[in-house]
Amino acid sequence: MPSKTGRIAKMTAQEIRQAYLNFFKDRGHSIIPRALLVPEGDPSTLFTGSGMQPLLPYLLGQDHPEGKRIVDSQTCLRAQDIEEVGDNRHTTFFEMLGNWSLGDYFKQEQLAWVWEFLTQTVGLDKNRIFVSCYSGNQKLGIPKDEESADIWAGIFSKSGLSAKRVDIGSQENGYRLGEQGGRIFFYEDKNWWSRAGSPKDMPVGEPGGPDSELFYLYPQVKHDPKYGRLCHINCDCGRYIELGNCVFMEYLKSKDGFIKLPKRNVDYGGGLERIAAAAIDDPDVYEISLMRPIISTLERLSGRTYDSNHTAMRVITDHLRAATFLGIDGVVPSNKEQGYVMRRLIRRAVRFAFDLGIEQNFIEEVTNAVADLYAPDFTEVSDRRHQVIATLTKEEKVFRQTLRKGIRKLDQLSIQGRLSGDDIFVLYDTFGFPAELSVEEAFKRDLAVESDWRKTFAKRMEEQRARSHTAAKGAFKGGLGGHSVIHRKYHTATHLLYKALREQLGDQVIQHGSNITEERLRFDFSYPSKLTPEQIKGLEDSVNAQIKRDLVVSWAEYPTDYALKELGALGAFGDRYGDKVKVYAMTPKDSDKPYSLEVCGGPHVEHTGELAEGGKKFKIIKEESSSAGIRRIKAVLV
């Protein structure tokens, strides 16, 4: 509601999230639930790193079961930003407010709506919003996005604002040219979106398009010339903060150049935390309603103030938000892939708590503070909070047992003035320090680090037949993957394996995740004990029998309750669905009764017999424990 001064009252982050969903629901959008932080069936990335990621199949042409207008708030995690956390704006965990038009409305509606939401619903100061547009590429025949600029100019004019246009080009040019009194700025590749990056890097068959970004000015922040001589809206000094990005996917790369897509899409992503910070006119995102209560908990536990301990309190707040949601989505600390990142986040938080003088168990209180903030809007947080707290506090207890000894060991190594790969391995193997945490500690002590420490570390790990997260090198890169023929075969085999497990071991078997690569499939499931050789052989025989039957693979969309309760379709543990789901059936040619019925997004082969091409058979190559009560199978077609 407007105040006596005419300003709209400041909204909390929780209120902004709900207002955004309602805003677009009122404009014909279907609200869909968030996807899990661990992408299902996408081996190219460890985590859901953007709001766009779960929607990519639909942006590329697949029909969405909820229609052409979609809106959500997607939790995201970018582990590559972990070492950036500590300033006033970087986080590993964040929410993206997203709306999509799948072949429906386009630039005119989208730009007007996002302006209306930010200035009228949230109440941001219109004078402090600036935008960027794509400057075009004449060599590739892609025109300058004057259409978006013209729409913005009209919006600004109606709001009584000047709309001067400034051509910048590259980000580097911005530090030389500066703001020049502009409000609409043209950039080159910075304002183009495709999975491959710039237009020239796109392969034939790849879609992409220009985008328009919105920035908020914090005049109280002074430009730091260490980033560049002059400030501009894409400067990294923190004076301008990006609030959101409207992607207009309208081109397809063909062998003859760029052509227009028959169905144009809109993809908007806006950072909830950043919009909430702008709403309270504070460039520090840790002051918003989704994080300040966590900071207050840390102040109480440590007896210290946030103003004097920014870095430590920000790291702990961010990392335990991320670890909590990883736990909610079924991840447990381990030395592999997502579990390794979760372990690193928790142990980093414990290490920074040590700097604050918090040497007793604190994760339970902080995680409860996190859960209190999210439980009202995410039912899964309420459902699993006690289980997640138990998991995180167990990890804290284990690490605290060796933390002091590890720090003393680092102090001893400081005398030699250098940290080797062997030293980093000892700190990891003996004291539980994630390798990167040891390197961070070395930098704090001005210790030189062996240049090829990763190679030495990996060699030592290999010698004791363990795996480090370096096996997932490059896995943080985003993008849609897993749609090749071999991926389709392994995806299909996963369904057959799930059915075979429940037939042989009972309904207690529930899927807890899967991962498909070109080399193998991985399937996690609930079961209390190690499988016997006879059980493994029985699973192989069952899957191969269904491959030989050449089951017909088909799919159809159903209301979610009907699919799960009436049809009895299986789903993965922790998955959340919208009102409709896609159900895959694998049915014998001589029967109407499906052998397997499972909720899944695909992709799959058309007949199970395709898995036997080249004389191949399904074979389990490893069966092991993934975590307490969870077993893991890895299998191949050979």
**pTM > 0.95:** no
In the chain, the percentage of residues whose pLDDT exceeds 70 is 94
Domain ranges within the chain, ordered by starting residue: 13-286, 291-472, 485-637
How far CA 407 is from CA of 352, 363, 411, 427, 487, in Å, comes to 12, 20, 6, 9, 45
Per-residue pLDDT, 466 = 40
Q: What's the mean pLDDT when you consider all of the chain?
A: 88
- What SS3 class is residue 509? coil
- Asked if pLDDT for residue 109 goes beyond 60, the answer is yes
Identify the weakest region by mean pLDDT among 168-177, 280-289, 510-519: 510-519
Q: Are 164 and 183 in contact (CB under 8 A)?
A: yes
Report the C-alpha gap between 212 and 566 in whole angstroms. 45
Per-residue pLDDT, 75 = 94
**Model confidence band, residue 261 (pLDDT cutoffs 50, 70, 90):** confident
Q: Residue range 63-92: average pLDDT? A: 89
Q: Is the peptide bond before 603 cis (omega within 30 degrees of 0)?
A: yes
Q: Residue range 173-180: average pLDDT? A: 94
| Per-residue pLDDT reduced to its tens digit, 298-330 | 999 999 999 999 999 999 999 999 999 999 998
Provide the residue type at 51 as one letter: G
Per-residue pLDDT, 495 = 95
How far CA 596 is from CA of 578, 592, 633, in Å, comes to 22, 12, 19
Q: Residue range 593-597: average pLDDT? A: 91
| Per-residue pLDDT reduced to its tens digit, 563-580 | 888 888 888 765 667 777
| Per-residue pLDDT reduced to its tens digit, 437-491 | 888 888 878 788 888 888 888 888 776 544 334 633 333 333 234 456 888 899 9
Q: Are 19 and 312 in contact (CB under 8 A)?
A: no
For residue 87, the cross-strand partners are 85
- Asked if pLDDT for residue 400 goes beyond 60, the answer is yes
Report the C-alpha gap between 189 and 210 in whole angstroms. 9
How far CA 620 is from CA of 42, 182, 503, 547, in Å, comes to 21, 62, 17, 15
Say which CATH topology domain 485-637 has. Answer: Threonyl-tRNA Synthetase; Chain A, domain 2 (3.30.980)
Helices (H), 376-452: 379-416, 421-431, 435-444
Most confident stretch, 24-38, 48-62, 461-475, 501-515: 24-38
Per-residue pLDDT, 562 = 80
**Model confidence band, residue 413 (pLDDT cutoffs 50, 70, 90):** confident
- Asked if pLDDT for residue 503 goes beyond 80, the answer is yes
Provide the residue type at 592 as one letter: D
Report the C-alpha gap between 395 and 386 in whole angstroms. 14
In the chain, the percentage of residues whose pLDDT exceeds 90 is 56
CATH number of 13-286: 3.30.930.10
